[in-house]
Amino acid sequence: MSDTPEPQNPSQPDESAAAPASSPDAAAQPELHTPEPTSEAPEGLAPSPGIAPPAGIRPPEFQAPAAAQYAPPQYQPPQYQPPQFGPPQYQAGQPQAGQPQDPASAQTGAAQPAPDAQTQQQQQQQQQWTPGAPFEPQQPGQPGQPGQPGQPGQPVGYDPSQPQGPKKGLPTGAIIGIVAGGVVLLLLIIAGVIAIGSALSRGPSPVSPAGGSTTGAQSAPAAVEEYLTALADGDAERARELVGGMSSDALLSDEVLEKSIELAPITNIEVDEETTGDDTESVVSATFDIGDETVTRDFRVWNYSDEYEIFDGLVNVSLSSFAGLDATVNGVEPSEDYAQAFIGTYQIELGVEEFALSGDTATFTIVTDDDSSVLYEVQPVLTEEATQTFRDLVRASLTECVALTSLATPCGLDVTGPLSDGAMPIDGTIQRTLTAEGEAALSALVPEPSYDHPTVVSSYDYIQINTTLEAEKDGQRMSGDLLFGGNLLQPYVDFAQESPKVTWE
Task: Write the pLDDT tens digit of every residue in 147-160.
Answer: 444 444 444 444 54
Say if residues 275 and 223 touch (Cβ distance below 8 Å).
Answer: no
Pair (317, 224) in one structural domain? yes
The answer as to whether 201 is a domain residue is no
Q: Which of 379, 414, 448 represents a domain boundary (last residue)?
A: 379
Pair (240, 336) in one structural domain? yes
Say if residues 323 and 334 touch (Cβ distance below 8 Å).
Answer: no
The listed range with the strongest mean pLDDT (69-78, 107-116, 191-200, 435-444) is 435-444
Better pLDDT: 432 or 179:
432
Pair (476, 366) in one structural domain? no
Pair (368, 393) in one structural domain? no
Count of domains observed in the chain: 2
Note down the domain range covering 314.
220-379
Q: What is the CATH number of the domain that holds 370?
A: 3.10.450
Q: What is the pLDDT of residue 341?
A: 95
Q: Which of 320, 347, 379 represents a domain boundary (last residue)?
A: 379
Pair (245, 353) in one structural domain? yes
Kindly state the average pLDDT of the residues 480-492.
86
Q: Each residue of 346-364: pLDDT tens digit?
A: 999 999 999 998 876 789 9
Pair (401, 256) in one structural domain? no
Pair (253, 341) in one structural domain? yes
Pair (329, 448) in one structural domain? no
The answer as to whether 270 is a domain residue is yes
Q: Each residue of 8-57: pLDDT tens digit?
A: 444 444 444 444 444 444 444 555 656 666 656 566 655 556 566 556 56
Pair (246, 343) in one structural domain? yes
Q: How many CB atoms lie within 10 A of CB 503?
A: 15
Kindly state the average pLDDT of the residues 245-250.
90
Quick one: which of 139, 135, 136 has its CA closest to 65? Answer: 139
Neighbour-count burial of 323, counting CB atoms closer than 10 A to its CB (0-12 exposed, 13-18 middle, 19+ buried): middle
Pair (294, 409) in one structural domain? no
Q: Which of 379, 408, 442 represents a domain boundary (last residue)?
A: 379
The answer as to whether 138 is a domain residue is no
Pair (369, 393) in one structural domain? no
Pair (365, 402) in one structural domain? no
Dist CA 395 CA 445 (whole Å): 10
